[in-house]
Amino acid sequence: MLHTMNRLGTIMTTFAIAATLTAPAIPHAAAPDKAPVEIKVRVSEKGFLDEKGKPYSAKRVLTLPKDAVVTITFLFGEDLTSLAVGDTHQIAVKADDGWKQETGSIWIMNRESSLTFRAGENGRTRYRAYCILDCIGMEHLTNLIIQVAGE
């Protein structure tokens, strides 16, 4: 019995070594480790603004590092003296392939909402952010272009 057990152990070890040596190499598909990126975008009747108040435009796009997990926090940025101070905004971010995420509503009593995604996932290279609610200044909240770097 002991001899059979030793023989069985030897056979199993041989199979394990053979499987290891003959198995095809498996390429690692994991994305490179990148630090998470957090971006704040102010939303107002004037449009989408960076943290310093400078507007984004077709010529001044928001650029994200490829493969980074990105959190974009949209901040309610209406001035208290503005007629739009009572407005509510809700932002959608959409890719060309139809992928879409929406924030919660932002307004004077809920001043921020975030969404998180991996930049460039599934080959996506360009996104567009826009307000999905009818609001004052909506014509300025239709086209925040988000570009993945290196694409």
| pTM: predicted TM-score of the whole model, two decimal places | 0.75
Please check the confidence at residue 12 and state whether its pLDDT lies above 90. no
Q: What is the domain extent for residue 98?
A: 37-148
> Across the strands, what pairs with 91?
131
Instruction: Decide if pLDDT at 4 tops 90.
Output: no
Kindly report the average pLDDT of the chain as a whole number. 82
- Structure-token match 């940025």, residue found: 77
Measured in whole angstroms, how far is the alpha carbon of residue 133 from the centre of its chain? 22
Name the token pair of 98: 């139809």
Identify the band that residue 79 occupies on the pLDDT scale cut at 50, 70 and 90. confident
pLDDT of 82 > 90? The answer is no
Q: Is residue 5 part of a domain?
A: no
Residue 11 lies in a domain: no
Between 70 and 29, where is the model more confident? Answer: 70
| Predicted local confidence at residue 53, as pLDDT | 92
The yes-or-no verdict on residue 120 having pLDDT over 60 is: yes
Report the domain count for the chain: 1
Instruction: Please tell me the distance from the alpha carbon of residue 62 to that of residue 122, in angstroms, as a whole number.
Output: 19
Alpha-carbon distance 70 to 67, whole Å?
A: 9
29 part of a folded domain? no
Say what percent of the chain tops pLDDT 90: 61
| Structural domain contains residue 14 | no
Q: What element of type H or E holds 126? A: strand 126-131
Q: What is the CATH number of the domain that holds 60?
A: 2.60.40.420
